[in-house]
Structure 1
Amino acid sequence: MCRDYLRPALLIFASIAIGVVGWSGHVLLLPVVLGFPLLWSISRTRFVAALVSAGYFLAASSGLPQGVAAFYSSDIWPGLLLWLCASLSFVAVHTVLWTKNSGVRPFRYLLAAVIMAIPPFGITGWAHPVTAAGVLFPGWGWWGLGLLTAGLAGLVTRIWPAVAIALIGLWLWSAASWTEPRLPNGWRGVDLELGASLGREAGLHRQRDLIATFRNAASDGARYVLLPESTLGFWTPTVERLWTSGSRGTGAMVIAGATVLDATGYHNILVALDRNGGSILYRERMPVPGSMWQPWRSWFGESGGARADFFANPVVPIGANRAAPLICYEQLIVWPILQSMLHNPDFILAVGNGWWTRGTSIVAIQRAAATSWAKLFAKPLVIAFNS
């Protein structure tokens, strides 16, 4: 009787450990998450597979309750509710597609992986194992993604020990020769430590301080300066004129986050500004579900919430190059970066406003994911976060 409970308990414990370690925010630990498909495949019942899936996903996203509590200035319960609700799609997909039939199990797992990578389920497709592709196959691009996908399928077959040994060997080789993605020529990413006031305190003094930060980076030789999400606050003609005036004499361009209102809500955007004026460069494809993106409002005739542009503007022109922008939440899911890579951009821009994640590993996970994708496709990477 004890053995009947011991094996499921060990599988669940192992799945939790894999979620915690693999998604700790250290990019070289991402391949640990490849243990999840193995645990899922060796579960003897659908119920145990569901518990293994839940353990992995909840552990991987364990910073969410604390972060949501900080964001809403509330107690832990709203965050816990969102945490549990967000796990439902991941657990449901992996529970429904689990099977005892070893012959079709690889196809079932690959189907689960695809479903969790693209909308609608991909909207909450955090903690996806394919994110580790950049650590195991740096520079291999789509071939590397394909090889890791084949490796995931191999981990749910009877030859999993051989597949695991091969993947561990690749992991060790990559870790021994690891280098961070390089910056594009002339670029500078500036991290800020302005907490919750960024984007909310929009007075003249704050704007002048931010312009001074931009000018300092430009004085060091940067031709393009990336500032975090929400840096400019609301995008208005007054803000544009102020920054246009502040950019004179620098010869540099600033790319910064802002918010623009429309009749039904708002867009989370990136703005490009120089001495000649500014324009909207990018509209976020996938804002944070729940706290930002609230599609149910329109069902009841209400307005508000961030607009999701889904598959719009996967790459944007900047000077003579094209960039793949990722704002905050887009760094945690799969389809935005893969959609951008289909257009072969010259580099990746990753911005965020993570003040509400203080005390969690969420920002570190975002940085690790962006780094892994940049390494996979051998693209330069510029990062700017506010904390």
Structure 2
Amino acid sequence: MAAPALLPGPQWLRGVMLLVLPSLPPFAYWLPLPPLAGAGWLFPGMGYAGVAVYVGMALAIVGCRNAGGKAPQAMMALLIVATVLAAGLNLHAYWHPPRGVAGWQGLQFRSAAPVPQTFEDAAQAMIGLADVVRGSSMPVIVAPENWLGTLPLAAMRSLRAALQPGQHLLVGGIHMHDGTLRKGVWHLPEGTFTPAIAPIPFIEPYPADYARTGSAIDVAGEPASLLVCFEASTSLPLYHLHYGTPVILVANGWWDTLGALSIQRSVARSWARLFASPLLTSEARP
């Protein structure tokens, strides 16, 4: 994506392309670590306006070095204003963080085992999860991505029985949805399945479901934006999150020995900050 920097034309235009192009569809769905993801760290709570200011600030930095005449002074003034704005917004975000959803619990597991490949492995994972659920009094429990493998809903009776009245569980799995095998998240006890929007391209054998971009799920009467692993590392949240709506991130990094999940969580937190949304994560890591 550095190609725009080599194109002829005004420097500001090349800068815009470098910043914005990775966050435009279709690149937005499969290019990780887009430059615009940094907007949430500098301008929390500003939403799309924060993205615009972030781009303007980056272009002003370039302009200060290359523009002639009085332009550098004007751009420096813009930088000072943006810096003061960023400081004020971060102080506000520190003293007034987004209101979390009381009673929602994101489970964190240590596991170096791959996603369950057989029915027996999936059933064993379900039994272990049922024990955890049985010992929790939280009204909403979230378990990691692909935790149940291809375990069918009919085989989740003991897991559903472990839930107390009014208690809800979101857990990652793989399901034949609309005639196609998809990864996503089960919602119990309802038994509904929400497919992932953008699985890892060229690696995961599951189709994308871009039509679901921007749709929220209902969790115990509260709307929430669901991100499944890789989605949080791209620009998809820019089109998917809703201002002030809780964000749920489920991931499974049983393979991660280099800290990829930590980077992904940081990007997700930046997107959530941009939209003043609380972030709840559930991960499995070695």
Alignment TM-score, normalising by the size of structure 1 = 0.63
* Distance 1:225-1:262 versus aligned 2 partners, 3 A rule: closer
The answer to whether structure 1 residue 347 and structure 2 residue 246 are counterparts is yes
Please name the residue that 2:156 is paired with: 240
Unaligned runs of 5+ in 1: 1-89, 293-304
Tell whether the 8 Å contact from 2:30 to 2:200 is kept in structure 1 after alignment: no
Tell whether the 8 Å contact from 1:268 to 1:306 is kept in structure 2 after alignment: yes
Q: How many residues align?
A: 271
Between the aligned partners of 2:225 and 2:283, the Cα distance in structure 1 is 16
Trace 1:154-303 onto structure 2 (pairs within 5 A).
154-157=60-63, 158=67, 159=72, 162=77, 179=94, 183-200=100-117, 202-217=121-136, 219=137, 222-247=138-163, 249-261=164-176, 266-274=181-189, 277-280=190-193, 282-292=194-204
1:239-260 CA distance string (max 9 Å, x none): 332322222x353100111111
Tell whether the 8 Å contact from 1:116 to 1:122 is kept in structure 2 after alignment: yes
Trace 1:84-163 onto structure 2 (pairs within 5 A).
90-96=1-7, 99=8, 104-157=10-63, 158=67, 159=72, 162=77
**How many angstroms does 1:312 deviate by?**
1.4
**How many angstroms does 1:195 deviate by?**
2.1
Alignment TM-score, normalising by the size of structure 2 = 0.83
Query: What code does the residue aligned with 1:279 have?
Result: T
1:280-314 CA distance string (max 9 Å, x none): 1x21111111211xxxxxxxxxxxx1111123153
Tell whether the 8 Å contact from 1:155 to 1:163 is kept in structure 2 after alignment: no
Higher strand share: 2
* Distance 1:170-1:356 versus aligned 2 partners, 3 A rule: farther
Higher relative contact order (Cα pairs below 8 Å, separated by 6+ residues): 2
Higher helix share: 1
The percentage of counterpart residues that share the same residue type is 24
Alignment match of 2:217 (pick from 284, 296, 316): 316
Query: What code does the residue aligned with 2:233 have?
Result: L
* Distance 1:199-1:94 versus aligned 2 partners, 3 A rule: farther
Between the aligned partners of 1:181 and 1:353, the Cα distance in structure 2 is 26
Higher deviation after alignment, 112-121 or 152-161:
152-161
Query: What code does the residue aligned with 1:368 have?
Result: S
SS in 2 for 1:116: helix
Tell whether the 8 Å contact from 2:33 to 2:267 is kept in structure 1 after alignment: no
SS in 2 for 1:356: coil
Please name the residue that 2:281 is paired with: 383
Between the aligned partners of 1:308 and 1:234, the Cα distance in structure 2 is 18
The answer to whether structure 1 residue 364 and structure 2 residue 262 are counterparts is yes
1:332-369 CA distance string (max 9 Å, x none): 111x212223x5462111111112121x1311111111
Unaligned runs of 5+ in 2: none
Tell whether the 8 Å contact from 1:258 to 1:269 is kept in structure 2 after alignment: yes
Please name the residue that 1:23 is paired with: none
Tell whether the 8 Å contact from 1:323 to 1:345 is kept in structure 2 after alignment: no
* Distance 1:154-1:125 versus aligned 2 partners, 3 A rule: farther
